[in-house]
């Protein structure tokens, strides 16, 4: 019995020490349903000003609607996860806004993912 407890404890320690969560999600659900916590731990805190849009995205991973900010710092755009401030996003759609949150970098074929903590009208 004791050996089983030690083995289970060691297994939990090994799993708990995993530091590479793999590639961040992209495609349908990445900015609306995916659990992003593993990538948020090391994400950069950013504040960008640009045009907030909700649009239809056609990709190799599927067709879906998503939010974007154009531009997003030095990037042409970023996909935006608006779950924390969905009402503000809907109210400010197609307006110039300032978005503060965390930026998750993705492979070169995908825009970075900006997890918005706050969306306000730009001055």
Q: What is the pLDDT along the chain (123 residues), one digit of tens a residue?
A: 555 444 444 444 444 455 678 999 999 999 999 999 999 999 999 999 999 999 998 888 889 999 999 999 999 999 999 999 999 999 999 999 999 999 999 988 889 999 999 999 998
3-state secondary structure of 7: helix
Identify the burial level of 119 via C-beta atoms within 10 angstroms of its C-beta, where 0-12 means exposed, 13-18 middle and 19 or more buried. buried
Q: What is the pTM of this model?
A: 0.82
Q: Tokens representing 116?
A: 């918005």
d(CA 121, CA 52): 10
């Amino acid at each position: 019995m004791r050996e089983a407890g030690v083995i289970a404890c060691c297994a939990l320690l090994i799993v708990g020490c995993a530091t590479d969560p793999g590639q961040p999600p992209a495609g349908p659900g990445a900015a609306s349903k995916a659990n992003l916590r593993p990538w948020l731990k090391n994400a950069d805190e950013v504040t960008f000003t640009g045009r907030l849009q909700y649009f239809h995205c056609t990709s190799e991973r599927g067709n879906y609607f998503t939010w974007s900010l154009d531009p997003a710092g030095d990037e042409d755009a970023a996909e935006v996860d608006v779950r924390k401030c969905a009402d503000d996003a809907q109210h400010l759609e197609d307006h110039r806004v300032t978005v503060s949150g965390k930026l998750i970098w993705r492979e070169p074929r995908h825009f970075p993912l900006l997890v918005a903590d706050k969306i306000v009208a730009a001055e």
